[in-house]
Structure 1
Amino acid sequence: MVDCTVFTYTNEDFISDVCCGQQTRSRFDMALRCGWTEKRNAGLFRYHLDELETRILPGPCAYIAQLNIMRGVERRKPQEILSVRQNFDPQQFNFNKIKPKELLFELQKDARRHQNGSKRTCKVIINVSPLEFGHCLLVPEPDRCHPQVLTPLAVQMGIESVLLSADPGFRVGFNSLGGFASVNHLHLHGYYLNHQLRIETSPADPILPKKNLYHLLDFPGGFLFYTQGPNLDLTVNAVCSLTDIMVDRNIAHNLFITRGCPPRRERDPSVSRNGVRVIVWPRLSCFGAKEESAFNVALCELAGHLPFKNREDYETVTEDGVQEIIRKYLLPQEEFRELQKHVMKC
C-alpha cells in the first residue's frame, strides 16, 4: 500500500468530555470529514451519497432505518467465506489492491512501536460503497496481510479512533468471517450516524467487572466492555481474549464500538458520553457468498442501525419484524451461557 498523509496522535488527543447533540469537532473529525468529502466530490465512490432517507421505527428500541438502495446495487461482490478461521488469500481482493486515491491517511500513535522498533500503523481508506457519511475502513498493518480476525492492535485502534472523535455519532464496528464480513483482510468500519442508539445507555449486569466485562441486557443480548481510557490494555486484552475463544470455536461474531454511558443495572438517562462501550455479539455463522438482496444481520443491525436496500422493506418494516429476523442469527441462549461460563474461567 502506498504512502499517504500521517495523522499522528497521543493520549492527549483523546476527547474526554462528550455529550449527545454536541457539534464540536476534533482534529481527527476534521481530518476524516474533510478528506472523505474531498474523495466524494472527486467521484471516487461507486455512487454519490447524499443525506439518506431515515425513519425511526415506532417502539421502545427506536431502531434507525435508512434507505440506501445504491449500496445494494453497486457494492463489490462479497467473497465466499467458508470458516471463521479462513486463511488470507492474496489472489482475492484485499486492501493492498485499492487505488492510491482511496487512501485518506495513516493513523499512527506517537511512540507506538513493535519490539523490533518498527512502527505499528493503521491505514484509513474510504469505503467506496458507503453506508453513511464518513464511512471509512480502518486497516491495521495492511502489508502484513492479516485475515479478518481481531488483533489487539485492531481493537486498540478501533477504540482509540472513537476516543479521538468529539462527535458522539462516530461509530466503529467489525464483522467476523461468517458474520457477514465481505473481505478476508483485517479491517474495521468507521462512520458517522447522527442518531442516538439504544445500546449507548442499555443496562448491563457485571460478569467480570475487574476486566470491564458486562452482560448487555437489552435485546439482542451480548458482551459489553466499557472504558474511559486512556489506558486501554485491560479492555483490549479482555476483548481479544473473548474473540480468540470464539475464533477457536468457529463462532462468528460482530463488534460495535460507540460512545456510551457506564454500565448499570438500570438504563442511564444521562446525556454524557464520556466513555466508550464495546459490544460483542456471538452469532450463528453464515457461510458461503452473501445474498445481497437479503436483510443481512451484521454490526449495524445488531446495534440498532438498519440500512435497507429496497423501499418496500424500508417503509413496511416494524420493530417486531426486525427482532424476528435478528433472532434467527443469534447464538442460542444455552450456547451463549456456556460461552459466558468459559469466558469467566479464563
Structure 2
Amino acid sequence: MLPYWVPAAALLLPATASSCLGEGYLHQQLCQAWEQKRSEGVLQWTESELPALEVLEGPTAMVVQLAPNRGQKRSLNATINSTRLPFDDQRFHFGKVASAEVLLCFNPWRQTACHHTETSNTCHWPKYADLSTGDRCEEEQAMVIVNKHPICRNHFLLVPRGEQPQVLTLEALMLGLAFGLRGSKRLWLSFNTIGAGASVNHLHLHGFMAGFGTEPMDFPLERYLDFPALLPAATSRGPVSLWRTPRQWPLCGWVFEWTDNRALEIDSTLAERRLAEFVHAFVKTLQVLDLAHNVIIRMSHRQVIVFPRKTLFEQSKDVTELQVSGHEVLGWWVVARKEHALTGVEAEARLQQAQLPRSAQQKVLKALEWIGWTLKEEAKFLCDTQFPTVA
C-alpha cells in the first residue's frame, strides 16, 4: 500500500522523475512540478550532455561543474559599491515571470503545530504547498518558481510575497528555514546579497542539491561543517550554538546551529522562528555595515552558515565570468565556458579573494559581541591571506 500522501499521479512519473518519491510531500510536489516544466520546455536542463564533474587538486578538493546554460541568465548590468539598492519596478523582477514558471505556492503558517525529526515527521500535510497556483500566489507567503537556467535538477527560487529589494528580512529567513526543514534532507538554500552573487534585485533565495540531482553528493565544505572540524566560537545561548569554519577553508564563515531536539519534537515552527531570530540579528548588523554576505541554509543539520565577504561584481556585465556566489562558497564552482581552465589553486585563491579586509573583520567580531555572543579567544582570529592571490 502506498503512503497516504502520495497522489495517484505519482504512479505515472517518467523514469527521469523517479527521484521524486521517497523524500516527503514537499520534495515530491516540487520535483514533479519541476519535471513537468522541463518537459514543457520552460527551462533548459540537458544533464545527459554534460561532462562528468571535475574534482580539483588541492586539500579542499573543490569541484567544477560545467553549466553552459548559465551563460544565458540575466546580469545585474551595473557596477555598484553597495549591497543596498532600492527596488526598481522598471527593471526585471520576479513579479514579471510568466505563470508557466510558477512551480507551487508555499505558506508554512497554514500548518498547525508539527514536528520534523530523524524519526518522526508530521509536517507533510499539503496545507502549506499548493500546486493549484492559477495566479502568482498573492494570498500566500511565497511562490516557488523554476530557475530557467538551472545549475542542477530541481534548482528553484523561493520568492517571498511582495516587491522587496534583495535584502534578507526576518520573515524571508523564516520561510527559508521552514522550506528547508520540510524539504528533502539533501536540500540546501542560499541567499546572496547584491555584490555577493545576486543578479536580480528582488528578494529571493535559491534552492538546490549537490550534483546533478539523482545521486546524493556532498559539497566540499561539508567536511568542515561538523565537529571536530568546526571551531567552537562562543558560549551557547540556549538552543543555539555558534561555530566558526576552520582556517583550512579559504573564506571564513559563522555557523549557527540549533541543538535542542526536544523542541523539534514539540513544534518545528518554534525552532524555525528562534533560529531565524538569532541568525537575522547577525545579518542585520552586516546590513547596517553594508557588508556583502552569503547565507547558506542546511536544515538537514539544523545549521545556517553566514559568510561576511567583500562586495564583488564578477558577473555584473558578463555572466560567463567566474564568480563567488552561493555554490562557490560551498566549494562548487559553476562555469559557463568549457575552456575555463580552473585549477584547485586558483579556485581556493578566488574564494579567499572574497575575504574581508582586516578592518572589516574586526567590525564583524565586534558586531557578534554587540548582539550578545561571548566569543572565545581562539575564535577571534582574523582570516589572514594563506592562499595564492589571483592575478
Match of 1:212 in 2: 241
One-letter amino acid of the structure 2 residue matched with residue 236 of structure 1: A
Match of 1:48 in 2: 45
- How many residues get paired? 300
**Retained in 2: the 8 A contact 1:180–1:290?**
no
1:172 corresponds to 2:189: yes
Structure with more strand by fraction: 1
Structure 2 residues without counterparts, runs of 5 or longer:
1-20, 113-137, 211-215, 225-229, 372-391
SS of aligned partner of 2:154: coil
TM-score, normalised to structure 2, is 0.71
What's the CA shift for 1:191?
1.4
Structure 1 residues without counterparts, runs of 5 or longer:
1-22, 260-273
Equivalent residue for 1:227, pick from 248, 254, 258: 258
More deviation, 285-294/99-108: 285-294
Q: Deviations over 1:78-117 (max 9, x none)?
A: 343632121101111111100001000011114479xxxx
What's the CA shift for 1:76?
2.2
d(CA) in 1 for partners of 2:346, 2:294: 21
1:123 corresponds to 2:143: yes
1:97 corresponds to 2:92: no
Match of 1:17 in 2: none
SS of aligned partner of 2:321: coil
More deviation, 304-313/89-98: 304-313
| Distance 1:245-1:37 versus aligned 2 partners, 3 A rule | same
How do 1:154-193 residues align onto structure 2 when only pairs under 5 Å count? 154-168=172-186, 170-193=187-210
One-letter amino acid of the structure 1 residue matched with residue 154 of structure 2: G
| Distance 1:200-1:145 versus aligned 2 partners, 3 A rule | same
One-letter amino acid of the structure 1 residue matched with residue 54 of structure 2: R
Match of 1:145 in 2: 163
| Distance 1:200-1:125 versus aligned 2 partners, 3 A rule | same
More deviation, 299-308/58-67: 58-67
Match of 2:18 in 1: none
What's the CA shift for 1:208?
4.8
Equivalent residue for 2:319, pick from 265, 268, 292: 292
d(CA) in 1 for partners of 2:305, 2:353: 19
Match of 1:238 in 2: 278
How do 1:1-346 residues align onto structure 2 when only pairs under 5 Å count? 24-45=22-43, 47-51=44-48, 52-53=50-51, 54-72=53-71, 74-80=72-78, 82=80, 83-111=82-110, 121-141=141-161, 144-168=162-186, 170-193=187-210, 194-202=216-224, 203-210=230-237, 211-217=240-246, 218-219=248-249, 220-227=251-258, 229=264, 230=268, 231-259=271-299, 274-286=300-312, 289-313=316-340, 316-346=341-371
**Retained in 1: the 8 A contact 2:194–2:292?**
yes
What's the CA shift for 1:247?
1.2
d(CA) in 2 for partners of 1:126, 1:248: 31
Q: Deviations over 1:117-156 (max 9, x none)?
A: x976111000111111111100011xx2111010112111
TM-score, normalised to structure 1, is 0.80
**Retained in 2: the 8 A contact 1:24–1:166?**
no
Runs of 4+ in 1 over 6 A off after TM superposition: none
What's the CA shift for 1:291?
3.1
CA RMSD of aligned residues (A): 2.4
Q: Deviations over 1:275-318 (max 9, x none)?
A: 222111111112593432321111110111111111222xx422
| Distance 1:240-1:58 versus aligned 2 partners, 3 A rule | same
User: Structure 1 vs Structure 2: percent identity of aligned residues?
Assistant: 26
Give the number of the structure whose alpha-carbon radius of gyration is greater. Answer: 2
**Retained in 2: the 8 A contact 1:155–1:236?**
yes
| Distance 1:28-1:112 versus aligned 2 partners, 3 A rule | closer
